[in-house]
Amino acid sequence: MYYSKITILIPCYNVEKYIYKCLNSLVQQNDKNFNLILINDGSTDTTLSIMQEFEKKYSKLMSIQIFSQENVGLVETRKRLVKLCKTKYFVFIDSDDWVDKKFISSFSKKIEKKDYNCIVAKNKIFSFGCYQWRNFVANNFSSKNSFTKFIKKADYGYLWNKLYNTKFYLKNINILEKNEYWPTLTEDHYVNSYLLSNISPSTVSFISSHQYYYRKTKNSISNRPKIEKIDEITSHLDSCMNGRKNIFIINYCIAILSYALIATGNKSLKFLVYKRIFSQLEQVNVNRKKLCIFRRIILWICSIQYKILSHKYDKIEMNEKNQ
């Protein structure tokens, strides 16, 4: 086993079209001192054979472990990957994405100087042949106030562009797993909202250059989710929010709203979803001026939709009671 402080974790499912580019970007790393663990989650295409060919070709260049299992979904596969990790730090990469050649070296330079619980890399989104990018304040935070401002304004919800301290991650995940319900559609936001609401600002750092390339496809899970799935998530909101900090509640509720806004399906169900979310938000102090403009827009649009739907369905409910 190669000595390394970092393990790359990649869950794989039916990505024969994209996984070669993902794995090839790891071969191109200028720092190859990392471990690589891949899990084939019951793929029905040639994903597994591509992974195996890659291992044969590059096992002398880097430490590679491949596991294969029956399909259990992304959430459970990620959980298993973290439990397989033996290094101090790990990073998730989605199997249809790819990374810059300085991806590992950028993280390594940071952790050589100081121990961190989370390091965030800048990312670009590759959507239908075009690149987009997201910006954030690229520095460290020495005070709780400045860090709180960051997590209210920045888009940090993804699991895949971050280096995590393994012990810190597992400790917090074990707490979250005590809940009977674990959301699948909004897992990234659920986990990161909790992690960053329980992290010391001095243990977070950033990489200002674009290091991660996220591929957004027609089949991306974030494209037009079904309102039934959002309904399932919000029906468990009370248990998810129980005892959580206000910043977690605000961030996670707005994340769910962003999905509910574009969700397709029954409008009466969307009304119920909005009702549950805004009920949670009413219990905390939401200062909209401190939110980024994107989140303010989400709240504003969803508030209008909720009022319109409330007028319609409250009226229907009153008529049913009077009959």
Per-residue pLDDT of the chain (323 residues; tens, 9 = 90+): 445 799 999 999 999 999 999 999 999 999 999 999 999 999 999 999 999 999 999 998 899 999 999 999 988 999 999 999 999 999 999 999 999 999 999 999 999 999 999 998 877 775 545 445 454 444 455 555 555 555 555 556 788 889 999 999 999 988 888 776 788 778 888 888 888 888 888 888 888 788 888 887 655 544 568 888 899 888 888 877 877 888 888 888 988 998 898 888 888 899 999 999 999 999 888 888 777 787 888 999 999 999 999 888 766 555 545 55
What gap in Å lies between CA 257 and CA 299, rounded to an integer?
Answer: 8
Report the relative pairing of strands 63-69 and 35-41 from DSSP bridges. Answer: parallel
Q: N- to C-terminal Cα distance for the chain?
A: 74
Three-class secondary structure of residue 64 per DSSP: strand
Describe the crossing of helices 267-281 and 293-322 by its angle, rounded to 10 degrees: 120
Contact indicator for 246, 210 with CB cutoff of 8 Å: no
Helix (H) or strand (E) holding 132: strand 130-133
Structure letter (DSSP) for residue 226: B
Q: Is 113 left (phi over 0), alpha (psi -120 to 50) or beta?
A: alpha
Distance of CA 192 to the CA centre of its chain: 7
Amino acid identity, position 80: R
